[in-house]
């Protein structure tokens, strides 16, 4: 029987940035140039990606899906709905993506024109009340929501608005926003600050509160809007677990943001895919391990496709969200 010339014990992942003719063998493992519908576990073993998930919502015009494991919210045309087909709000902009964040009690939702919260007890939406205090106005919504140290943050185009401390439905009209030079595509909090993604950069706002953040530029690689998630009990080193952010960069690499503004490029710079448009992300549990999965269309008219294509947004926060 013929013997193999080389035996590999591990598949190390994809490397499509090196010369395809270069040596891809590293120790007892090998990098692939491309693979399709394959998952690789922490031991370097390949698995066929499963495709037996149950279809729960079908049809066109649906996007901005979100779930915490107990309630499923989504946009269907001009309606904001709760699964399976309960209309919560009618006559919304069908092209405006909805953003969400889970508070201690309520589920906050917003897009470019509306903001409110879902009461989990009755599953119904409620508008923010109009403040009756001097210099106070209703909190604004936007394309990304986050809660950090008792304030609600809303990314609205290139401004990061923040609510009053402990009163998340209102803000002070004298000082309520941090301005950035481009559209904000990510706002995710960890223990000691917030990661803010733009189309061309990522910043870390370090500090306990919006009034005394110090701004640190982390990378020139921007964030694909809609692909950021947080994991509440991830390993942050030395046997300690905490909240960690994950996002897909504009070049297709997955980044991992720890407390303190410490960031790792998960694929080590070996993977590249340009022209990514807004996407959707989810934290999956399958075959005994957790997996970050992001899906994005390519930019229309740039990479050989034409027309418009909208991806539903599935964001799950924390390991107990599946």
pLDDT in tens, 291-308: 888 888 888 766 544 444
| pLDDT band at 5; cut points 50, 70, 90 | low
Mean pLDDT value across residues 211-227: 96
Q: Which two tokens stand for residue 112?
A: 């470019």
Mean pLDDT of the chain: 86
Q: Which of 176-180, 237-241, 297-301 has the highest mean pLDDT?
A: 176-180
**Domain parsing of the chain, residue ranges:** 1-49, 62-179
Residues 6+ apart with CB under 8 A from 241: 233, 234, 235
Mean pLDDT value across residues 312-318: 44
Are residues 286 and 51 in contact, defined by beta-carbon separation less than 8 angstroms? no
pTM for the structure as a whole: 0.84
Whole-number Å distance between alpha carbons of 110 and 162: 14
Phi/psi for 320 (5° steps) reads -95, 15
Length of the chain: 322
Mean pLDDT value across residues 277-283: 89
Q: Is the pLDDT of residue 2 over 80?
A: no
* 297 burial level (CB within 10 Å; 0-12, 13-18, 19+): middle
Q: What is the pLDDT of residue 122?
A: 94
Q: Is the pLDDT of residue 10 over 90?
A: no
Q: Which is more confidently placed, 191 or 288?
A: 191
Q: What is the pLDDT of residue 249?
A: 95
Are residues 110 and 142 in contact, defined by beta-carbon separation less than 8 angstroms? yes
Q: What is the pLDDT of residue 319?
A: 36
Q: What is the pLDDT of residue 27?
A: 63
Q: What is the pLDDT of residue 53?
A: 66
Whole-number Å distance between alpha carbons of 52 and 54: 6
Q: Which is more confidently placed, 17 or 85?
A: 85
Q: Does the N-terminal peptide bond of residue 84 adopt cis geometry, omega within 30 degrees of 0? A: yes
Q: Which of 141-145, 210-214, 279-283, 300-304 shows the lowest mean pLDDT across its residues? A: 300-304
Q: What is the pLDDT of residue 297?
A: 85
| pLDDT band at 234; cut points 50, 70, 90 | very high
Residues 6+ apart with CB under 8 A from 132: none
Are residues 266 and 255 in contact, defined by beta-carbon separation less than 8 angstroms? yes
Q: What is the pLDDT of residue 43?
A: 77
| H/E stretch holding 177 | strand 177-179
Map tokens 């303190």 to a residue.
Answer: 260
Phi/psi for 194 (5° steps) reads -135, 140
| pLDDT band at 318; cut points 50, 70, 90 | very low
| N-to-C CA span, the chain | 48
Whole-number Å distance between alpha carbons of 19 and 10: 20
Q: What is the pLDDT of residue 48?
A: 73
pLDDT in tens, 244-263: 999 999 999 999 999 999 99
Query: What's CA 16's distance to the chain center, in Å?
Result: 24
Whole-number Å distance between alpha carbons of 271 and 242: 27
Q: What is the pLDDT of residue 57?
A: 72
| pLDDT band at 312; cut points 50, 70, 90 | very low
Q: What is the pLDDT of residue 289?
A: 73
**∠ at Cα 268 (220, 180), nearest 5°?**
20
Q: Is the pLDDT of residue 115 over 60?
A: yes
| pLDDT band at 15; cut points 50, 70, 90 | confident
CATH number of 62-179: 2.40.128
Q: What is the pLDDT of residue 317?
A: 44
Whole-number Å distance between alpha carbons of 21 and 23: 7
Whole-number Å distance between alpha carbons of 104 and 98: 20
Q: Which two tokens stand for residue 135?
A: 């210099």
Residues 6+ apart with CB under 8 A from 173: 135, 136, 137
Q: Which is more confidently placed, 181 or 48?
A: 181
| pLDDT band at 320; cut points 50, 70, 90 | very low
Torsion, CA 145, CA 108, CA 208, CA 221, rounded to 10: -20
């Amino acid at each position: 029987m013929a013997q193999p010339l080389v035996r590999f014990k591990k598949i190390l992942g994809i490397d499509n940035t090196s010369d395809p003719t270069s040596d891809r063998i590293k120790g007892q493992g090998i990098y692939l140039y491309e693979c399709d519908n394959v998952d690789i576990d922490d031991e370097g073993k390949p698995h066929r990606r499963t495709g037996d998930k149950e279809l729960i919502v079908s049809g066109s015009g649906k996007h901005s899906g979100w779930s915490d494991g107990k309630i499923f919210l989504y946009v269907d045309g001009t309606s904001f709905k709760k699964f399976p087909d309960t209309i919560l709000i009618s006559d919304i902009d069908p092209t405006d993506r909805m953003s969400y964040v889970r508070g201690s009690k309520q589920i906050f939702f917003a897009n470019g024109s509306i903001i409110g919260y879902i009461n989990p007890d009755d599953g119904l939406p409620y508008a923010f009340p109009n403040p009756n205090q001097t210099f106070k106005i209703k909190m604004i919504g936007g394309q990304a929501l986050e809660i950090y140290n008792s304030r609600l943050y809303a990314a609205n185009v290139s401004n990061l608005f923040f609510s009053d401390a402990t009163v998340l439905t209102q803000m002070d009209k004298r000082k309520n926003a941090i301005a950035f030079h481009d559209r904000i595509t990510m706002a995710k909090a960890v223990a000691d600050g917030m990661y803010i993604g733009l189309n061309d950069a990522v910043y870390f706002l370090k500090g306990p509160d919006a009034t005394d953040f110090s701004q640190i530029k982390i990378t020139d690689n921007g964030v694909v809007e809609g692909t950021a998630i947080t994991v509440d009990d991830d390993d942050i080193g030395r046997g300690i677990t905490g909240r960690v952010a994950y996002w897909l960069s504009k070049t297709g690499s997955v980044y991992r943001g720890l407390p303190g503004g410490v960031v790792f490029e998960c694929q080590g710079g070996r993977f590249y895919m340009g022209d990514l448009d807004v996407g959707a992300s989810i934290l999956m549990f399958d075959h005994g391990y957790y997996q970050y999965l992001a899906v994005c269309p390519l930019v229309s008219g740039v990479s050989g496709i034409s027309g418009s294509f909208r991806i539903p947004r599935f964001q799950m926060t924390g390991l107990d969200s599946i």
